[in-house]
Structure 1
């Protein structure tokens, strides 16, 4: 029985709400992940622009490499929830692959709580760092001297989304243990 069947047959209100939450978080993670994937083109364009201005025109732009670094940071921040949703993260698969689906769900249910703790600590740190950046108008020390507030804000938002995705995984693993799918 999947979540849609449970909803059609009048499954519990809480379970329907959980199924909607999981679908909504998965959809947002997909959207943000595809948006992150498109940032590769922006990075390529900026680096090509930098190469042309530096080598052909002999007029280097000092912001190009630094902007590419910021875009790369945004790329991996935004790609985190998508990677987590699609189960494409790094895992020691030595004995995990030999487990049944229920066995994998049990192991994943334990490890996802470790992830949630880790993400919670990161979120607390990112909020503190963002508050400091806003209070001091923090800038990166370089010729370009850009503000770091936007990238720190993006990190904080992406950590919230990763936490939401981690809780969606908790619900998915519980559903697997119940013999259902979300």
Structure 2
């Protein structure tokens, strides 16, 4: 279990970093959007490339931020029933939901999006609009985003199982630093055993 917790911790850190990058993309997207509006109104100049960059960035924010959002338990839920259950029952539902619904959907999306990205890369497909951009970079965000989401689903399942075994605090609560500390504590015996001859 320690090895799995170490993997979950690595995935958490990866999605945390990418999530922070996605936050900066929001600012960049807003600046490009404002600049484009000012240039269009003040100088009567417009570029399809600037418009497409905006939706490329929006796609990056949404897709690259999915794993980060799941890590922080900030995705949309309907808690009419779940909120009334115990933490253990909630963890069991999260495990079942992650493995039976979210993981298969993410895997299927990744599987079917990859050939499209490959074909667009080989063909060098551009936007049909004048001054439009290459299409494969924005399409490549789909397998990247869903790949990160798959990793985070697995990390969340590992953390819920560790919680049910009493190894870490409830990962559904906002205790990231405590959970990371508990994971590190559980890894210490494993590391010490590995140092012995």
Shorter-chain TM-score: what band? Answer: 0.7 to 0.9
Q: Contact (CA 8 Å) 1:119, 1:162: kept in 2 or not?
A: yes
Q: Map residues 119-130 of structure 1 onto 2, 5 A cutoff.
A: 119-130=106-117
Gaps of 5+ in 1: 1-14
Aligned to 2:28: 42
- Does the alignment pair 1:151 with 2:124? no
The one-character-per-residue Cα deviations of 1:78-100 (angstroms, maximum 9, x if unpaired) are 11010011111111100100111
Q: Contact (CA 8 Å) 2:127, 2:133: kept in 1 or not?
A: yes
Aligned to 1:170: 157
- Does the alignment pair 1:139 with 2:123? no
Q: Contact (CA 8 Å) 2:29, 2:58: kept in 1 or not?
A: yes
Q: Map residues 20-35 of structure 1 onto 2, 5 A cutoff.
A: 20-35=6-21
Could you tell me how far apart the structure 2 residues matched to 1:144 and 1:94 are?
A: 49
Counterpart of 1:100 (choices 68, 82, 86) is 86
Q: Contact (CA 8 Å) 2:52, 2:132: kept in 1 or not?
A: no
Counterpart of 1:62 (choices 48, 68, 80) is 48
Deviation at 1:103, TM superposition (A): 0.4
Deviation at 1:151, TM superposition (A): 1.4
Deviation at 1:56, TM superposition (A): 1.0
Could you tell me how far apart the structure 1 residues matched to 2:143 and 2:15 are?
A: 15
Could you tell me how far apart the structure 2 residues matched to 1:17 and 1:176 are?
A: 15
How many residues end up aligned between the 2 structures?
168
Moved over 3 A (4+): none
CA-based RMSD: 1.2
Could you tell me how far apart the structure 2 residues matched to 1:172 and 1:120 are?
A: 20
Gaps of 5+ in 2: 169-182, 184-197
Q: Contact (CA 8 Å) 1:101, 1:176: kept in 2 or not?
A: no
